[in-house]
């Protein structure tokens, strides 16, 4: 194949969408956020902290905390749930990694990824450095979430890429820059610099249970902090680094108009989803349909002759019946169905080794068949559908279908349900009293002039 090299004779102009984004990000204030955006951002921050604290209890993350403190140093920033404080680099990597360990962090179906956990850890560190108020933190998280999510909407990642560690890096960089008082020009530069620093993530890591996948969000947060140091020091990126990377390298079908469509009117954080099933979001439609069946009919797992699931392409890909570790189990639809039938819910413990090695679960998982229905795939991304058919040994067939997952914008969990999840995850880490105190403080975040008390609670 003949190589064609086009010379670059001069730096092209910065694209109009990026200039508009810089002006918008520089000018937006807490007071500009609609009430529903403020409320949802508070919940996203709290939900991420809960997921981090619980994920910090895993053996790998506990070992990681010790190693990071030894190599990156002690500092003022909480390693949430680890009862340690470390350097910004250590805290960013640790908190982002811990937050994805249990597959309970929030997400955005339109962006096809998890913007919150890529932004919140870096924003917490930058806010602590800047002596920010609760309002400052809310505005920065909403803005960083917006930047990352819109890139996910405006582009189509290559099918071999995992979304973690990609455009989330840009979201983290925007949140950090905002908290550092960046100019419009610096915010534009931060987005461009960050675009070239995203990871080359492999989708197969999640399918094979490669737990390096859990570190992708950690590196995004760490890189987001580093981007500000680079920009403040005078480093520059491409004139349209975002367009190049997400139009030709990591992704394609770049539609820059999506970056500014209804900017400041439609906030992506207000269209997020929260998770209660402790597994990949692609499993949730089938689990919601299964819940409808088990609520309507009573039967024992031993009564199940087989389960057939028709769903969209990405969920149909999660067809392994023999997951070899916890992460692989969370990305196995047959296992998720089987462990839910045996244990009653897709809880954190339902994916641990004891459940994975349970003969009843393993045998039932082998009787679950997953197939793609192209008509259901065509409903993406607005809907995440599934049809579930349970055949019992007495010959009866029980069926249900769902098109909107519980927790989606169309069927959201209420604040009380997010609080319940937060306390379930954090009370075992600290205590019911301390977890409740942290929730109460986060619920009043916009009234907080300083964040020291919140950081103290997270460091316990």
Both 306 and 344 in one domain: the answer is yes
> Residue 184's CB: how many other CB atoms inside 10 A?
17
Examine residue 408 and state whether it is found in any structural domain, yes or no. no
Kind and range of the H or E run holding 389: strand 386-392
Residue 2 pLDDT > 90, yes or no?
no
CA distance 319 to 307: 12
Q: Is 418 helix (H, G, I), strand (E, B) or coil?
A: helix
Chain-centre distance for alpha carbon 267: 17
Examine residue 140 and state whether it is found in any structural domain, yes or no. yes
Q: Residue 355: what are its φ and ψ, rounded to 5°?
A: -70, -40
pLDDT band at 245 (very low <50, low <70, confident <90, very high): very high
pTM confidence score: 0.95
CA distance 228 to 457: 27
- What does the pLDDT average to over 134-140? 98
Task: Give the position of tokens 């309507």.
Answer: 296
Both 292 and 258 in one domain: the answer is no
Examine residue 440 and state whether it is found in any structural domain, yes or no. no
Q: How far is CA 378 from CA 81, 163, 164, 311, 314, in A?
A: 41, 20, 23, 11, 12
Q: Which range (124-138, 342-356, 402-416) has the least confidence?
A: 402-416
Residue 9 pLDDT > 90, yes or no?
no
Examine residue 387 and state whether it is found in any structural domain, yes or no. yes
Look up the domain containing 311 and give its range: 281-402
CA distance 126 to 196: 21
Examine residue 447 and state whether it is found in any structural domain, yes or no. no
pLDDT computed for residue 348 by the predictor? 95
Both 231 and 373 in one domain: the answer is no
Q: Is 134 helix (H, G, I), strand (E, B) or coil?
A: helix
Q: CB–CB of 73/86 below 8 Å?
A: yes
Indicate which CATH number applies to the domain containing 374: 3.30.1330.120
The tokens describing 297, both together, are: 């009919």
- What does the pLDDT average to over 5-20? 89
Residue 327 pLDDT > 80, yes or no?
yes
pLDDT computed for residue 382 by the predictor? 84
Task: Give the position of tokens 């699931």.
Answer: 309
Q: CB–CB of 84/135 below 8 Å?
A: no
pLDDT computed for residue 47 by the predictor? 98
Examine residue 414 and state whether it is found in any structural domain, yes or no. no
Both 315 and 260 in one domain: the answer is no
pLDDT band at 8 (very low <50, low <70, confident <90, very high): confident
Examine residue 299 and state whether it is found in any structural domain, yes or no. yes
- What does the pLDDT average to over 244-259? 97
Give me the residues paired with residue 389 across strands.
Answer: 308, 399
The tokens describing 424, both together, are: 């379930």
224: Cβ contacts below 8 Å, ≥ 6 apart: 92, 118, 119, 122, 144, 169, 170, 171, 172, 173, 175, 176, 194
Indicate which CATH number applies to the domain containing 263: 1.10.4100.10
Both 107 and 128 in one domain: the answer is yes
192-205 per-residue burial string, b: 16 or more CB within 10 A, e: under 16: bbbbebbbebbbeb
Both 227 and 287 in one domain: the answer is no
Work out the percent of the chain whose per-residue pLDDT is above 70.
100
Both 248 and 288 in one domain: the answer is no
Mark which of 240, 271, 302 sits at the end of a domain.
271
Both 258 and 160 in one domain: the answer is yes
238-277 per-residue burial string, b: 16 or more CB within 10 A, e: under 16: bbbbbbbbbbeebbeebebebbbeebeeebbbbbbbbbbb
Closest CA to 114 of 65, 196, 187, 51: 51
pLDDT computed for residue 381 by the predictor? 85
pLDDT computed for residue 1 by the predictor? 58
Q: How many domains would you assign to the chain?
A: 2
Q: CB–CB of 337/365 below 8 Å?
A: yes
Q: CB–CB of 1/167 below 8 Å?
A: no
pLDDT band at 7 (very low <50, low <70, confident <90, very high): confident
pLDDT computed for residue 410 by the predictor? 86
Mark which of 374, 402, 430 sits at the end of a domain.
402
Angle made by CA atoms 125, 127, 132, in degrees to the nearest 5: 160
138 DSSP assignment: H
pLDDT band at 10 (very low <50, low <70, confident <90, very high): confident
Q: Examine residue 381 and say whether the peptide bond preceding it is cis (omega within 30 degrees of 0).
A: yes
Closest CA to 116 of 81, 83, 91, 140: 140
pLDDT tens for residues 273-311?
999 999 999 999 999 999 999 999 999 999 999 999 999
Q: CB–CB of 341/290 below 8 Å?
A: yes
Mark which of 371, 386, 402 sits at the end of a domain.
402
- What does the pLDDT average to over 394-412? 93
Examine residue 427 and state whether it is found in any structural domain, yes or no. no
Both 315 and 254 in one domain: the answer is no
Both 249 and 288 in one domain: the answer is no
pLDDT tens for residues 147-178?
999 999 999 999 999 999 999 999 999 999 99
Q: Longest C-alpha distance within the chain, in Å?
A: 75
Both 244 and 290 in one domain: the answer is no
Q: Residue 449: what are its φ and ψ, rounded to 5°?
A: -75, -25
Q: CB–CB of 314/282 below 8 Å?
A: yes
CA distance 59 to 48: 20
CA distance 91 to 81: 11
CA distance 438 to 440: 5
pLDDT tens for residues 50-80?
999 999 999 999 999 999 999 988 999 999 9
Work out the percent of the chain whose per-residue pLDDT is above 90.
95
Both 266 and 291 in one domain: the answer is no
- What does the pLDDT average to over 228-248? 97
CA distance 300 to 286: 18
């Amino acid at each position: 194949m003949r190589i064609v090299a086009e010379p670059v004779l001069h730096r092209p102009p910065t694209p109009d969408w990026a200039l508009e984004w810089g002006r918008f990000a520089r000018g937006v204030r807490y007071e500009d956020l609609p009430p529903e955006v403020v409320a949802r951002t508070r919940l996203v921050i709290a939900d991420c902290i809960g997921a981090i604290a619980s994920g910090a209890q895993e053996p790998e993350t506990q070992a990681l905390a010790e190693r990071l403190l030894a190599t990156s140093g002690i500092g003022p920033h909480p390693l949430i749930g680890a009862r340690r404080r470390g350097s910004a680099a250590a805290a960013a990597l640790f908190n982002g990694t811990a937050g994805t360990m249990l597959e309970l962090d929030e997400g955005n179906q339109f962006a096809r990824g998890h913007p919150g956990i890529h932004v919140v850890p870096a924003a917490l560190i930058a806010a602590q450095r800047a002596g920010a108020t609760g309002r400052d933190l809310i505005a920065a998280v909403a803005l960083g979430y917006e930047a990352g999510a819109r890139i996910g909407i405006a582009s189509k990642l290559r099918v071999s890429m995992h979304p973690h560690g990609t455009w989330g890096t840009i979201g983290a960089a925007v949140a950090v820059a905002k908290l550092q008082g960046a100019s419009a020009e610096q915010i534009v530069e931060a987005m461009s610099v960050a675009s070239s620093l995203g990871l080359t993530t492999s989708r197969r890591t999640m399918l094979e249970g490669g737990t390096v996948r859990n570190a992708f969000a950690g590196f995004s947060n760490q890189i987001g902090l580093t981007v500000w140091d680079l920009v403040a020091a005078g480093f520059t990126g491409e004139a349209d680094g975002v367009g190049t990377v997400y139009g030709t390298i990591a992704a394609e079908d770049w539609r820059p108009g999506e970056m500014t469509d209804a900017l400041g009117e439609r906030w992506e954080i207000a269209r997020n989803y929260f998770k209660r099933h402790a597994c990949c979001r692609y499993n949730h439609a089938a689990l919601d349909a299964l819940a409808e069946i088990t609520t309507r009919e009573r039967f024992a797992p031993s009564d199940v002759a087989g389960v057939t699931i028709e769903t969209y392409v990405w969920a149909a890909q999660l067809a392994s019946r023999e997951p070899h570790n916890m992460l692989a189990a969370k990305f196995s639809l047959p296992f998720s169905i089987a462990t839910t039938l045996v244990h009653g819910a897709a809880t954190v413990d339902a994916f641990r080794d004891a459940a994975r090695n349970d003969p009843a679960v393993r045998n039932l998982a082998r009787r679950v068949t997953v197939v793609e229905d192209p008509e259901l795939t065509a409903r993406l991304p607005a809907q995440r559908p599934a049809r579930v058919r349970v055949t019992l040994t007495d010959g009866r067939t029980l069926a249900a279908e769902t098109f909107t997952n519980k927790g989606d914008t169309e069927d959201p969990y209420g604040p009380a349900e997010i609080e319940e999840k937060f306390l379930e995850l954090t009370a075992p880490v600290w205590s019911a009293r301390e977890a409740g105190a942290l929730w109460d403080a986060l619920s009043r975040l916009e009234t907080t002039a300083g964040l020291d008390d919140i950081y103290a609670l997270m460091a316990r």
